[in-house]
Structure 1
Amino acid sequence: MKTLRISNLTLFVKMFILLFLSVSLPVTILGVWYFNKSSEQIEHVTSALLMENLQQNRLRIEQFFRQTELHSESIIASQKLEVLDNELEDRLFLSRSLSLMNELKGSYELTIYPADEMRYRTYSLLIQSGVKSPNSEWIEKAIQLKGKGYWYFDNNSFIFARMIRAMSDLRPLAVIQLSFPATLVNQQILSPAEYPNFQHYIVDDELETVLLAGKDRTLYPKEDFFLSEIPLADLPWKLVAGIPEKDLIGPVETIKRFSLLLVLASIGLITVLLGLITNSFISPIKYVVGQMKKVQLGQLVPSGRYGERSDEIGQLARGYNSLIFGLQELLATTKQMESEKSRTEMQMLIHQINPHFLYNTLDAIKWRADHVKEETIAEMVTSLSNLIRYSINNGEEFTTVEREIEHVKSYLSIESLRNHDTFQVVMNVQPRALNMPILKLIIQPLVENSVRHGLSKLSSGQGKILVRVFIEGEELVCTVEDNGPGVSEEVQTRMIQPNLPSGETGGVGLYNVNRRLNIRFGSHYGVSLTNRENGGCKVTIRHPLM
């Protein structure tokens, strides 16, 4: 079984996985974060709701308990308990207290006891109604507080106990109990109607249940409830509100499931869209790769698609087409150069056929001219022999400036004899340029062009030619100037592409020199023609220093 490697995956799969992870992971993380934040927000809102409800109900409960305390104050203020005395016999104390209890109880259960904890148990047996306490702790505490009341809870009732003193001498008269059932407190508590399971508790400091609104007195486990509590002022209890988590989290769970489905649907849609987007990038690349494979097979076929696009794909297609067109042009140029090279080699082979025969013939003509005392003919033959020998010269491409100038002088010697010295030639060669390498046969065609096309139209003895060779920067510069009629645009055009009519030869030499320099050194080097301000033509050659 082959091991799956990333390098073995296609570009489509790599891009798809990258885009899928870059989109799906943030969406999933955002969904989880949103759900958690929603739960936190619900808890925060629930806590605020519970606290607001607690504060409202605390005021109602505290006011309700305060009314009981005020009722005890009214009992004291009535001074009707002055008829009681802690020294009275139990039955007499009971008879007086019963009438007072019926008269003063109001809306509460009122019980009156002697202010003596030793008589409490005996006296409590005589009472047939009221709240009975199984122990005497409450009365002990009431006596110890010396007239200050306190609350406690017993037998599902809230009880306020207080010792009563005489107004005149502050002697203890009795201990009273004002009690009411817990159901009355339930009636004071308000619950939100939208939450039917909203619960309230009044609990002691140890969180032992005292009252449960509408239910039993067992607190729900905290892990199943949202709980909040607030102390009741001047009371030994706390008010607790709670709501089952399911009442709040239930809608959140629905949102969670909906969010999960939404995330899954989004991921599915993203997957499809990413597939389409990735394919829109990969398909053009596959097409260009297919075109490149054709190039490997030697088929230079330009791309006919995607070139009109303005994005990177369009740039890639246009770049590929530029490459193909460049290769086609390069191949055409190479073929043309190979053709020219073959033709030149053929001409050279033809020109090299039996050169010794030609030299021997010229030597025979020179000997005959010397024999008959024809010095002019002998000089011309010698110059011609030097020209031919220099031109052939075993096919060497380069020579020195000095030898090139000597070749020019041989040519001018023949032309001077042929035209009977009808023109003047001035040569100015920089000394340090004499030994510089230079392409063969590039100055003589320029001089020949001036003689044949510039000076031929002047009167005898009026023609002048100036040949200069010098070094300028990193270039070897040669200029040939004449005072002829100048050069026409047609001749300049022929130097670039010599499409000559049959029988005409003008411009071929210049084209040959320019073309050789371009091929050998690049388009920066070559021949340029300009007309002089005072008349005549100036031809300039730029040749790199070697």
Structure 2
Amino acid sequence: MMKKWMIGGSVRSQILILLLVFIITPTTIISVFTINKFSEMIERNGMDMMETALEHSKENIMNFMDGAADAALMIMTNTAIIDPILKTDAPRSVQQNITAANMLEKQLYELKIHGVRAKEIAIMNEAGDKTYAGSNTFHTRFAADADWWEAVDRLDGKPYWGSYEHNGKYVFVARKVQQFIKSEDRFRTLGVVLIGFAERDFSSVNSAVNLANGAEILIGDANGLTISGTDPVAVGKRLSGKTLRLPLAKGSSQLDLSGVYEPGAGTRLTVHDVIPGSDWSLIVSSSFQELLGEQRSIKNIIVFSTGLCVVGAFLLAALLAHRMTLPLKRLSKEVKQRITNGDFTFWPLQAPARQDEIAGLGQGFYRLVADLNETKNRMHQTELMKREAEFDAMRSKIKPHFLYNALESVRMLAVVNKDPDTAEMIKALGHLFRYIITDQKSHTTLEDELAYLQSYIQLQKIRYEDRLDVRIDVPEPLLNVGLLKLVLQPLVENAIEHGINLRRGAKRIRITASQTGEDVLIHIWDEGAGIAPERLAEIKSSLDDPSTDKDHIGLINVHRRLRFHFGEPYGLTIDSERDSHTSVYVRIPCRRHNGHS
């Protein structure tokens, strides 16, 4: 596309484009290369920082989870707590319940002293009865994972981590308590020890993590829910609007986090890993735009400098192109104006002030046009003389005056001998000759041409009798339109000889005329044998082929005479269908015989 535009554009445009390409292209390439490399460096550094934050956060969370799991184990192995709650089938007394609750409260207090900020400690048997200490926030129906009890049972005492929401967001660790039945050589499940933590206390372990460039830490569970994070607004939302397979193996990518962040927030880079001992995923996410915020000032400087170079290069190239092409532009403008007006006689009034190569080219062009104009005039006069000579020679060959007088004598003899048909035939033939030998040369009107055509048709009807039906329908306002002689008769003759005469039962020929805009369209139609498609294609291609022998093809001769006198797009158009019809259209300008159009 660029190549095509340069070829079709002005010389000034092409020079300007070439100059700009050689100046701007290297500058732009260097600028883009620099910005891309700098962006890659910033992105790489940002990813490294996010990887570091991920490892730091992972270490803090694992420490927290290990401490909580150890606290649950310590409770599980405390027989003073477990035995009266889980190892008895008899209903407990109120005093036993109070004693157990007090022991759990004491255990909760000791955990807080050691930095484990638990909100609740709960011990539940298989029937769902709960003994608790603390805020009493956990209920089975609030757990995010409905099958959490089965998951705890499958872990056989290993810690299970889950989340729940009850007037606040919480995470918890649960471990199964078992008793070995020696007589049966198996373990019997007694219940579950559960420690609940407020989500804010859980996420506070990441407060010391260095999160640059607006990065956020998110923890998602196996259901795709955000159970914790440095952004409180994100907690409780689904990570993605699409299916996101969790937990995520360690790596970095551009995750779909449209459930947490607005869709128009832009691309977010993420690093992620599985939190050991759980089915949770740890995600560190940062906006790509914020990640590249540090390079914006440098990028703006590069873009501004590149813009100055481009503007300066454009102004310099435009000035140089203007000085180089101004003489050519003036020459082109004058040539277009003169050629549009058909004036080839121009010559500069004075020599240009700058005598460089382009000025010399203009002077040479003026001389060439003057020579071409003179040659054109001579060729036109020669062609006119040749055409007139050919037409005069055609008329002189038949000795027109002698023939006309002789025909008139024969007609009178036929009248004397009472042979009216012969007399009418000779009269029509005499009219044909009179029309040919008139002094109007090759120009006539549509009315006179139709009168001549009527005499020709009269002769043909005597020959074909009732086998010929010719009808002429031409509006009266078009009768004085100027036309060349001997245009319609060859076309009607073709319709008779090559159409009507070659198809059994055919006899109709129609001649009509109509005005279309500034032109007149004459239509000669016959219901004859038509023209074979191959022959029709050959005739159409031969109409404007100079190598065709026009002396043997009447259609081509008529078309070229019309085209020579009236120019394009005037002449003949042919359409035909085998064994159906043939239509010949004659297009001429609507020029009245009195000179008005």
Q: What's the TM-score, normalizing by structure 2?
A: 0.34
Larger radius of gyration: 1
Report the TM-score, using the length of structure 1 for normalisation.
Answer: 0.37
